[in-house]
Structure 1
Amino acid sequence: MNLYSIVITTFDQRFEPFLVPLISSIKALRPQIEIIVMVNGPAKGSFNGTYRSKLLEFLAGQANCYPTLFPNFQALAKLWNRGALTATNHRILILNDDLAINFIESSNFFDHLESELGNQPHAFRINGSFSHFVASKEELIKVGFFDERLLGIGEEDGDFVWRYHETYGREIPSINIPGIGNIQSKVADEGFTKGIGHYSKFNRDFIKTQKYQEVLIGGFKGMFDKRSKKRLSDEKQYPYEDFYLDNIHKL
């Protein structure tokens, strides 16, 4: 079996309707798989103490589930980065919490996924979406991780796709894998200003007016509306993570 970990991002309003059934279905199919649960806090107000208690009680009953709780709201980019860094395996399946995994008699989502992991050595999206995608620590380090200046939710995937192409000269492919469905819940934290749908206006403005500019010739489109070039440089995030991976075995 190809060794990998799962990272799930979530927050209080999606606990019972989405997170509980998702983790339960994962554990029914892969009881011992490592799951890193990144729990976001509220953009306004205090962390819900009742939710915290119920969440920890639920996760304590699941093998190899490790939560990280943030008392206040953090960027989705940060949740993805920290989740990947926390995982003990180099390859990571990153999931939204509003997904449903179906049971198929002859085979299931994980059977197909693990087959593709053997065929696909690099990052890939699943069924055309970043609601479920596979990343590796090596590529995250090389590209520079997801940009944590995107303080809200949205655009972190398009920005990473652009920088991935800049780094490797190739696009992140999409692989069709049956057995998983995107519910696409519109339930979102009400404490931050929305732009398009339930995504952050701040993130959209940062991408459109500060980090990139649209061009007619050259550049790269990726997931953006038009071909674009970067005009704001990236700082190196987590600069010692490659040192950690190269030397931890010496400890």
Structure 2
Amino acid sequence: MNYSIVITTFDKRFEAFFKPLLLSIKQLRPNIEVIVMVNGPAKADFDPVFRSNALDLMISTPVVYPTIFPNFQSLAKLWNRGVLTSSNDRVLILNDDLGIDPNVENSFFDQFEAVLNYASNKTFTINGSFSHFVVSREDLIKVGFFDERLLGLGEEDGDFYWRYHETFDVEIPSFEIGNIDNVHSDITDGGYTKGIRTAAKFNREFVKTKKYQDLWFGGYKGMFDKRVKKILPDENQYPSEVFYQANKHLL
């Protein structure tokens, strides 16, 4: 079954969350391709000890490919670049604050791969959350990539959910899959201004005041608080990706 895994992480979650998650994944699926997007700090220097420890772990773990950003990047960019880097069209995107028990029968991956095999939708969430979800490169190109104008964390999932409905006139489905623990950690980079919990205030304001407009009637709610209409056009991000996918076999 061909799919890749993308994990986003940063220094403050390395030991407590990312490391055990990666090791659990590799215990269950040692040959699965894992793309790791390592974010940098917003207003600090990149920790060289963290860089060394992270690379040591990933070099010693088979089929793991890291990308390290020396400065803070949006979650939208990390997701986009992770999908573009992966070798497979289907990508399982995971937050780093997830726990997967490798020592149980009918593991998370046993259940997940069964769903992946029969699900008619190429894109879906797991347990109703974008902390763990599947996206296909094909759908991402059709809908438009996660909006990198959302410079921090937050709202990139709701924006994509809204635009997915706009594109296909259906909502992204969700499937219940067990033996995965969503911790919802509040540990974040300290260099950006927070809005709600870990989300960036900038992202919330961009969505609420720049990209969408609240409506009393009509429109579509999706994951937002109210029904809205889009008032700011999407940008054509990664325009050469379609050409690359269509012509890479000619190299």
For the criterion TM > 0.5, the same-fold answer is: yes
Deviations 1:61-82 (A, max 9, x none): 1101000000000000000000
Alpha-carbon separation, structure 1, partners of 2:152 and 2:37: 15
Tell me, yes or no, if the aligned pair for 1:18 and 1:98 is still in contact at 8 Å. Answer: yes
Which letter maps to 2:166?
E
SS at match of 1:213: strand
Shift of 1:103: 3.3
SS at match of 1:134: strand
Give 2:101's aligned residue.
102
Tell me, yes or no, if the aligned pair for 2:6 and 2:93 is still in contact at 8 Å. Answer: yes
Give 1:53's aligned residue.
52
The ranges of structure 1 where at least 4 consecutive aligned residues each deviate by more than 2 angstroms after the TM superposition are: 103-106
Match runs of 1:103-142 below 5 Å? 103=102, 105-120=104-119, 121-142=121-142
Give 1:199's aligned residue.
199
Alpha-carbon separation, structure 2, partners of 1:141 and 1:75: 19
Unpaired runs of at least 5, structure 2: none
Which letter maps to 1:193?
T
Match runs of 1:134-153 below 5 Å? 134-153=134-153
Give 1:180's aligned residue.
180
Give 1:28's aligned residue.
27
Give 2:170's aligned residue.
170
Shift of 1:104: 5.4
Tell me, yes or no, if the aligned pair for 1:104 and 1:179 is still in contact at 8 Å. Answer: no
Alpha-carbon separation, structure 2, partners of 1:106 and 1:183: 21
Tell me, yes or no, if the aligned pair for 2:90 and 2:122 is still in contact at 8 Å. Answer: no
Shift of 1:216: 1.4
Give 1:216's aligned residue.
216
SS at match of 1:232: coil
Deviations 1:102-159 (A, max 9, x none): 2354311111111111112321000010000000000000111100000000000000
Give 1:4's aligned residue.
3
Normalising to structure 1: TM-score of the pair? 0.98
Which letter maps to 2:122?
H
Give 1:71's aligned residue.
70
Percent identity over paired residues: 62
Deviations 1:165-224 (A, max 9, x none): 000111001100011110111000110000111210000000000000011111110000
SS at match of 1:138: helix
Q: Residues 45 and 105 from structure 1, CA distance in 2 versus in 1: closer, same or farther, beyond 3 angstroms? A: closer
Alpha-carbon separation, structure 2, partners of 1:98 and 1:104: 19
